Structure 1
Amino acid sequence: MTTTDVTRVATYREVTDRNGRVYRVGETDVDIMGRKRKWMVILPWVGMMGISSAEYAFASAEDTLHEAHQWSSSSIYWMMTAWVFCQAAVAFPAGRLRENGKLPARWAMMLGAVGTLLGYLSLAFAPHVALAFLGFGVFSGMGAGMVYATCVNMVGKWYPERKGGKTGFVNGGFAYGSVPFVFIFHGYMDGSNFRWVLVSCGLFLAAVVAVAGSFFRDPPKNWWPDTIDPLNPPDDPRARRSLEKNPPAVKQYSPLEAWKTGRVALMWFCLACTSGVNIFGIAFQVDIGEDAGFAAGIVATAMSLKAIVNGTGRGVIGWLSDLYGRKQCLLYVCLILGLAQFGIIWSAEIKNLPLFLIFSAISGFGGGAIFPMFAALTADYFGENNNATNYGMVYSSKLVSGLGAGMGSMVVAAWGFNGAFGLAGGISLFAGVVALFLQPPGRTKSKKVTPNPRPLGEG
């Protein structure tokens, strides 16, 4: 990979399709940034792995933090809720700043790296839980939100013709990048070594985010790959099938225009429900396993398996959505996620470890697969030019779903694990029903087209 920022001078032209959408064609990825666009998949994937441990491995550190700082378990779960809240809250304003050029992608990644480091330092040295809330919950959460929004939207801009699999792959780094840290925090870190473990992890992960982000660059507005004809079916069978199943947006919607279509509100609600179930599972997977009598090491393995499948599932579902359609895959994901919660209840009740591991993995798949579906759907429905802002609106639903950890602890206390996981399953199934009403704006349903009773040539 070349590290130069010197770009080639290339001519381009703008073409318009029958819907009035403009495509900028003629420039290659190498002309624009001096390297192949595949690096805008690899580097965002690395950046996403750098922030993943803060959410997915945090539950594994709960016992050690409680022992070392004497923080209550409730405070620690609410700290995770604060992290998720701030991660989601920053998505829309960061996207707005990104789209108007005030926050370049590289600077967003650098700020994310600083937030990541501050989060780990606060967990290691905060003398009071309030400072940990500020350092980890606020600064680390906001930093992770900047990294997440930048990475997910970057890949969609560079692969507008086949974004599902690529978005899913990048999104997957947010889950399975945490796997080593699940074992470190749950099996190795204790009250005697937690400070240097947390500081070492913070320095390493902040460096990963900063180095990956230093190579980021956005394509020009309306850019389209020079190898793909935007006005005719492409020769590449993968791109052709993806565009058939997931046609590009009819135009580049501004955030206000996207909101007025009503689709943003539907997507917001569905993501709030399903991501809340995912966060609840992350927070209480360890607890329900230990309550069932499974060994701590086995429970950590289950959590790691959940994270692995959560991450790989994002890439798999993204690839499948290119083949079979984004909405269809989203409906199956909601069904799988909901049923998996009841499977976890059943396997824990009968104390069957293999089934517990299987349903944990299935839950991880469903919980992870929802995110690339909504990220890709947002670009499919509203275009790529304002995708950082538009997806920021949709992703802000985690402001509500982040309560899956804090409120989840209250539901578990009141209803027990069976009641809480049963409620989570029902919420996911209901989200699937709501998702049935999602349709791309500006397109007429084929069933609503009325045939012309007097075609041309007949008097």
Structure 2
Amino acid sequence: MTTTQLSSTVPFKEVTDGNGRVYRIGETDRDIMGRPRWTMVLFPWIGMMGISSSEYAFTSAEDTLHEAHLWNSGHIFWLMGVWIFFQAAVAFPAGQLRESGKLPARYAMMLGALGTLLGYLSLAYAPHVIVAYIGFGMFSGIGAGLVYATCVNMVGKWYPERKGGKTGLVNGGFAYGSVPFVFLFTSYMDLSNYQTVLVIVGVICCAVVAVAGWFFKDPPKYWWPTGADPLKTSEDPRIRRALAKNPPAVKQYTPKEAARTPVLWMMWFCLLCTAGINIFGIAFQVPFGKDMGFAGGIVATAMSLKAIVNGTGRGVIGWISDRYGRRNTLIFVCLVLGSAQFGVLVSGSMGSMPFFLFCSMVSGFGGGAIFPLFAAMTADYFGENNNASNYGMVYSSKLISGLVGSGMGAVVVAAWDYEGAFIIAGSIGIASAVLALFLKAPGRPDGKKIEPNPNPIGREIA
């Protein structure tokens, strides 16, 4: 005979809406974890900042790593591509392990913290570039993937009724947490201190991720917050507006069910294109600015502004998408991202520093905004219960976009110079906006195609 330990002694009930979707109501956030749910925005946000330097500040250390280890510049960009490959590759299996209960959120964050530390140690002491590919590219990439997948999906579970702004805020930590490290790697780190700097940064980032992860806790499956009755119109105008523009998924799709819908793979390809543009900008803005004659301080400032706006844009765009709809916002972001690539090219060619900084910020805004949009859209379309796995499938497109944006980006720049590369990137961004027009939640009827009843029942008949 076995007994089951209940996670909560507070009575709850499960209700079903007209589509057959189940909601668990009656428990508050404090009943479940003893603290308000906004803490599950704060701690994931901190955790995301702990891994941000590995992607957004890494290329700022290019010159020092090249001189210290005698690696050519091609290795630097491919290292970043490999890191992004593993960061994206772990998203789906991590989601499967998380949802099966085999990998609790706290353990996922601890593994992520360890991977982050190993990455910086390998950059500091690698006797050969292969060690850096394994330590930084693979271990740090896997660790960052575990942290990213855990943080982004955690906040969506705790805020199922208006996830856009909260998901965007957490996602933003992945960018602006790197700002101090951009200046550190660009202006302070050199051959005399690079090992010490890299080790200290690794220890700090590891500690930040581990401490934040210690407080992680998942809500029960199907949980829905009190004050937002899923079967009634909410009195809160924010919730009412968010649910009207982004209605909940018609059911909780399993990964197999989601994979059978064409819209998931359309989202996959759209993210592939837009993430590739974002990574291309992260990898090549610094060398492009230097080649155009801008001073190192200006380039570092441009990259920092890009990271700040990238992170801030993620939070802002989530709030905007709650108000105006996820798909409409995505179309706008794709247009902005594509147009910004042409702006960066023109501003650099003109030698206009203010215009370069402005276009860099606009590019950062568009590049950052796509990720929380797709994270929230995946939950909107396929439900929250399996969102870690479903978003993992969508996010896996970054496997390719990382290599294309960074590694293949170097090949394109070498063959067609920066002009050809930025024109291609901008064109892909515009094309992504066209693709976004066709994204639609599966299973939900198109309101425009519903014909009114020719013989409605009047009040006097009823």
Secondary structure of 1:202 counterpart: helix
1:204-238 Cα shifts (integer Å, max 9, x gaps): 10000000000100000000001211101111111
**In the TM superposition, what is the alpha-carbon distance from 1:7 to its structure 2 partner?**
7.0
Distance 2:350 2:211 in 1: 48
1:302-336 Cα shifts (integer Å, max 9, x gaps): 00000000000000000000111111100000000
Number of aligned residues: 453
2:419 aligned residue: 418
After superposition, residues 29-68 of structure 1 pair within 5 angstroms as 29-68=29-68
RMSD over aligned Cα, in angstroms? 1.1
1:362 aligned residue: 362
Secondary structure of 2:24 counterpart: strand
Q: Could you tell me which amino acid in structure 2 is paired with residue 309 of structure 1?
A: V
After superposition, residues 131-210 of structure 1 pair within 5 angstroms as 131-210=131-210
Distance 2:296 2:26 in 1: 57
**Deviation >6 Å, runs of 4+:** none
- Note closer, same or farther for the CA distance 1:36–1:7 as it changes in structure 2 (3 Å cut): farther
Query: CA contact under 8 A between 1:7 and 1:33: conserved in structure 2?
Result: no
Secondary structure of 1:14 counterpart: strand
1:3 aligned residue: none
Secondary structure of 1:15 counterpart: strand
Query: CA contact under 8 A between 1:7 and 1:30: conserved in structure 2?
Result: no
Distance 1:243 1:353 in 2: 43
Secondary structure of 1:402 counterpart: helix
Query: CA contact under 8 A between 1:8 and 1:30: conserved in structure 2?
Result: no
Distance 2:197 2:204 in 1: 11
1:141-161 Cα shifts (integer Å, max 9, x gaps): 000000000000000000000
**In the TM superposition, what is the alpha-carbon distance from 1:452 to its structure 2 partner?**
2.7
1:75 aligned residue: 75
Query: CA contact under 8 A between 1:7 and 1:31: conserved in structure 2?
Result: no
1:320-359 Cα shifts (integer Å, max 9, x gaps): 0011111110000000000000001111111000000000
Q: Could you tell me which amino acid in structure 1 is paired with residue 118 of structure 2?
A: L
Are 2:291 and 1:291 aligned? yes
2:441 aligned residue: 440
Q: Could you tell me which amino acid in structure 2 is paired with residue 434 of structure 1?
A: L
Distance 1:263 1:151 in 2: 24
Give structure 2 stretches of 5+ with no counterpart.
1-5
**In the TM superposition, what is the alpha-carbon distance from 1:9 to its structure 2 partner?**
2.1
Distance 2:445 2:7 in 1: 41
Query: CA contact under 8 A between 1:90 and 1:142: conserved in structure 2?
Result: yes
Distance 1:84 1:318 in 2: 23
1:229 aligned residue: 229
**In the TM superposition, what is the alpha-carbon distance from 1:8 to its structure 2 partner?**
5.5
Distance 1:226 1:166 in 2: 17
**In the TM superposition, what is the alpha-carbon distance from 1:287 to its structure 2 partner?**
1.1
After superposition, residues 349-428 of structure 1 pair within 5 angstroms as 349-403=349-403, 404-428=405-429
If the length of structure 1 is used for normalisation, what is the TM-score? 0.98
Q: Could you tell me which amino acid in structure 2 is paired with residue 195 of structure 1?
A: Q
After superposition, residues 189-338 of structure 1 pair within 5 angstroms as 189-338=189-338
**In the TM superposition, what is the alpha-carbon distance from 1:291 to its structure 2 partner?**
1.1
Distance 2:433 2:133 in 1: 34
Secondary structure of 2:191 counterpart: coil
Distance 1:69 1:291 in 2: 23
Q: Could you tell me which amino acid in structure 2 is paired with residue 255 of structure 1?
A: P
Distance 2:351 2:131 in 1: 40
After superposition, residues 97-136 of structure 1 pair within 5 angstroms as 97-136=97-136
Query: CA contact under 8 A between 1:168 and 1:319: conserved in structure 2?
Result: yes
Secondary structure of 1:451 counterpart: coil
1:6-28 Cα shifts (integer Å, max 9, x gaps): 97620000011111100000000
Distance 2:438 2:225 in 1: 32
1:96-133 Cα shifts (integer Å, max 9, x gaps): 00001000000000000000000000000010000000
Distance 1:389 1:228 in 2: 26
Distance 1:227 1:446 in 2: 28
Q: Could you tell me which amino acid in structure 2 is paired with residue 293 of structure 1?
A: G
Are 2:26 and 1:26 aligned? yes
Q: Could you tell me which amino acid in structure 2 is paired with residue 298 of structure 1?
A: I
Q: Could you tell me which amino acid in structure 1 is paired with residue 368 of structure 2?
A: G
Are 2:96 and 1:88 aligned? no
**In the TM superposition, what is the alpha-carbon distance from 1:455 to its structure 2 partner?**
3.5
Which shows bigger deviation, 423-432 or 163-172? 423-432
Secondary structure of 2:71 counterpart: coil
Distance 1:324 1:453 in 2: 32
Q: Could you tell me which amino acid in structure 2 is paired with residue 438 of structure 1?
A: L
Secondary structure of 1:47 counterpart: helix
Query: CA contact under 8 A between 1:7 and 1:34: conserved in structure 2?
Result: no
Q: Could you tell me which amino acid in structure 2 is paired with residue 368 of structure 1?
A: G
Distance 1:453 1:18 in 2: 23
2:430 aligned residue: 429
Secondary structure of 2:393 counterpart: helix
**In the TM superposition, what is the alpha-carbon distance from 1:454 to its structure 2 partner?**
3.4
Query: CA contact under 8 A between 1:268 and 1:393: conserved in structure 2?
Result: yes
Secondary structure of 2:14 counterpart: strand
Identity %: 70
Query: CA contact under 8 A between 1:340 and 1:362: conserved in structure 2?
Result: yes
Distance 2:226 2:353 in 1: 52
Secondary structure of 2:308 counterpart: helix
Query: CA contact under 8 A between 1:344 and 1:356: conserved in structure 2?
Result: yes
**In the TM superposition, what is the alpha-carbon distance from 1:56 to its structure 2 partner?**
0.1
Secondary structure of 2:384 counterpart: coil
Secondary structure of 1:438 counterpart: coil
Secondary structure of 2:220 counterpart: coil
